[in-house]
Structure 1
């Protein structure tokens, strides 16, 4: 059987303006990855692995990105950024294959969410270990504060996602439907303004996988020319601070909105 054309695939695997979803689609997906993934999906449409197995490969790529970061020099940062791009590609491909093959499932959604939790946390933990410079330790316990800060950033990234997901958990346990987009608007005008300012600055995205990998790569390049880990360690502090602050602000935003009503 001949492979479907891109024109045949697009309306099935990208239904209902999937690239235009406000909160469901990453900017990199809208900018370039959905077009790349569409062509990869066309090649893989008859491949043996199931969509959930591609999700497993996505998780493996994301975990590997965190694992390679401690490698010294530019090597770890470059490999980490490339693996995160592969992670993002597979994150698109698994859903596209599921829609084309009509194999969408609750298990697939669950694995996808777990994958995002694990992989973004692994990247930030790996970044903290990179900042600790474990390959040049002299045996003294003097630099592990950087690994702690990376782990703190990872915990914040997980909690931010959990705060969002637990809204629907709380509603379902009360017998309510999932929250609608309109419920995200805070009831207070002051909170609504603060939310718009935060959304415009987009600082919260720094702890996301793609953004963090690019920041890590930029810091590694700067360190390469500077000759030490100043920029990497500064970035770890920034990401930890952003994660903690965003965890608190996101919780307040949810409580101030109508999502739990």
Structure 2
């Protein structure tokens, strides 16, 4: 029978499977189950239901999970009570703003009985294993924590019931209750449900089987500074070149002071918009000194634009409004700066059609180019999301749960363009060149600042159109290749 704890302010429920003997192992906080529930109490969890061993075996455990999931709303996290993990590791799922279907993985691919293999591609788990299910070319291991988004709860319940029937009939080999969550992940992946890979990084999350392994795992936790890891992970790991080396290298030191001052991400976004407007005002003056001042203000505006996201991740103050405001602010700031640059270039010069030397035509062309590029990006992302949603609703399971080997669709050769893109991701220099090629906002900001401060607005717009045109072609080719994969 499940016991439950509740918290009314959260949207995620937790199911703890205390069905193995290791759940009752002792630690400084009582038992491992006590330690885990204490950790969950510090996280935004609406309810914790503990499923104790009832003697019915694996099938009974899976049916209990299905029963709880069917009456749940919001995301549901399933994890074992024999888990020894950093609280920050649990927060990777429980405090993630998307509340989508995800699993905690480590890129340490050393497979062990309590560390089943998985294969991760593009941030998604595309193959998952158990003692019965094999995973060719595994590159990570599952660490026992599975979160299911609200849209996928029905799928999880169906999978749990199907697995329970197979386990009771002995058709999954010698699997035990220890593998309940591993099997659920296998079922979700093979049923075509997109499962995000939440990467542990420096943090630890290990399942244990005995007192010695429990003591060792708890001792390992002290080797990691969770506060420092939280700060490090608040800075985007795969950001653009300019943002990584010329902005985040110093804004990371501002995150904690900003948090202590009580600054919110939205407040930082507001200051960033104000600095961009001031930059546009200085650009509109048209003098060399004003151009340099505008460039400095625009750089600081972009730095704060990076800082607001870092602060949001550090404080975990996420909101749909904040995400929308941040995205809209980026466009607003950029286009206001274009207007300021065009005014500054035209200042004091004789007016002709399109302004002096067609500067307004160039400004409008640069705006249109950026609008088209963003439309390509966002429409492609939206199309992939819609396709995944329709596929999850209509598609039959990709692979049978009774097949022990995992091949099939994963053996399909990739197209040459995609192979080249993946090779570029592995090579450090090529990876940075690939990121710069699409002219992300950091590179655009740097381009505007340098050309405006050293030359003039005409050079700025010509450079934006030239590089932006190359980026647009690159994006179109890549999107077409991925769409026809």
TM-score, with length taken from structure 2: 0.41
Contact 1:81 1:214 in 2 (8 A): yes
Contact 2:295 2:449 in 1 (8 A): yes
| Cα deviations by residue, 1:35-71 (Å, 9 ceiling, x for unpaired) | 3212222322233442112112222323433343122
Residue of structure 1 equivalent to 2:466: 241
Q: 1:189 aligns with which of 416, 424, 433?
A: 416
Alpha-carbon distance, 1:103 to partner: 1.0
Residue of structure 2 equivalent to 1:136: 348
Residue of structure 2 equivalent to 1:4: none
Distance in 2, Cα, partners of 1:194 & 1:170: 21
Contact 2:417 2:481 in 1 (8 A): no
Contact 1:117 1:161 in 2 (8 A): no
Q: 1:200 to 1:11 in 2, by over 3 A?
A: closer
Residue of structure 2 equivalent to 1:20: 237
Contact 2:439 2:471 in 1 (8 A): no
Q: 2:475 aligns with which of 239, 245, 250?
A: 250
Higher strand share: 2
Q: 1:109 to 1:13 in 2, by over 3 A?
A: farther
Alpha-carbon distance, 1:8 to partner: 7.3
Q: 1:121 to 1:244 in 2, by over 3 A?
A: farther
Alpha-carbon distance, 1:165 to partner: 2.2
Alpha-carbon distance, 1:123 to partner: 2.8
Q: 1:214 aligns with which of 435, 442, 450?
A: 450
Uncovered stretches (5+) of structure 2, i.e. residues with no partner: 1-224, 391-413, 425-429
Residue of structure 2 equivalent to 1:91: 305
| Cα deviations by residue, 1:81-108 (Å, 9 ceiling, x for unpaired) | 2112211221232123223333122222
Distance in 2, Cα, partners of 1:241 & 1:137: 25
Contact 2:280 2:339 in 1 (8 A): yes
Distance in 2, Cα, partners of 1:176 & 1:129: 46
**Alignment pair present for 1:31 and 2:245:** yes
Residue of structure 2 equivalent to 1:146: 359
Distance in 2, Cα, partners of 1:145 & 1:154: 15
Alpha-carbon distance, 1:191 to partner: 8.1
Contact 1:81 1:217 in 2 (8 A): yes
Contact 1:121 1:158 in 2 (8 A): no
**Alignment pair present for 1:126 and 2:360:** no
Q: 2:387 aligns with which of 174, 188, 208?
A: 174
Distance in 2, Cα, partners of 1:128 & 1:256: 37
Distance in 2, Cα, partners of 1:31 & 1:79: 22
Higher helix share: 1
Alpha-carbon distance, 1:149 to partner: 0.5
Contact 1:128 1:147 in 2 (8 A): yes
Residue of structure 1 equivalent to 2:25: none
Distance in 1, Cα, partners of 2:472 & 2:324: 22
User: Of the two structures, which has the highest relative contact order with CA contacts closer than 8 Å and spacing of 6 or more?
Assistant: 1
| Cα deviations by residue, 1:206-258 (Å, 9 ceiling, x for unpaired) | 871222222222214xxxxxxxxxxx434432322333443344223212224
Distance in 2, Cα, partners of 1:10 & 1:158: 38
Distance in 2, Cα, partners of 1:203 & 1:175: 28
Distance in 2, Cα, partners of 1:120 & 1:104: 24
Count, aligned residues: 228
Moved more, 163-172 or 117-126: 117-126
Contact 1:119 1:209 in 2 (8 A): no
Contact 2:280 2:338 in 1 (8 A): yes
Contact 1:9 1:100 in 2 (8 A): no
Distance in 2, Cα, partners of 1:41 & 1:28: 19
TM-score, with length taken from structure 1: 0.70
